Amino acid sequence: MDKKRTAFFSIFLFLAINVFSLSNAIEGYYGQEDERVYGAVAVALISTILATTAFFIWRKAEYKK
């Protein structure tokens, strides 16, 4: 799979990871499980950074002349 295609599909993977992390953060917060909240926030932030990187890789390839 080329770089552009990988970047394209990885954004959906990171979207799924973030949905899962948000649900974990909410459950952990209301269940007062601090470790679970911190874990979910860390995963979500890393996933967001990777999604941003993937988006810029895709955009560069997509709008290349």
Partner 1 sequence: MSDDKNKTHHEDDKDMIKLIDNLNRKDDVHLNRRAFLKASFGATVAIGLATTPFGIFTFLRDENGEVKRVEITDIDDLAVGESRNFNYPTKNEPAILVRTPEDKFVAYNNKCTHLQCPVFYEHKENVLLCPCHKGYFNVDSGQPMAGPPQRELPKILLEIKDGKVFAVGREVRHG
Q: By CB under 8 A, is residue 62 in contact with partner 1?
A: yes
Give the separation between CA 29 and CA 2, rounded to whole angstroms.
Answer: 40
- Give the residue, chosen from 18, 53, 60, 64, that forms a contact with partner 1 under the rule CB under 8 A: 18
Contact status, residue 54 vs residue 14, Cβ threshold 8 Å: yes
Q: How far is CA 61 from CA 14, 17, 19, 51, in A?
A: 19, 24, 27, 15
- Give the residue, chosen from 6, 38, 53, 60, that forms a contact with partner 1 under the rule CB under 8 A: 38
Q: By CB under 8 A, is residue 57 in contact with partner 1?
A: no
Among the residues of the chain, which ranges form H helices? 3-30, 34-62
Contact positions toward partner 1, by CB under 8 A?
8, 11-12, 14-15, 18-19, 21-22, 25-26, 28-29, 31-34, 37-38, 40-41, 44-45, 47-48, 51-52, 55, 58, 62
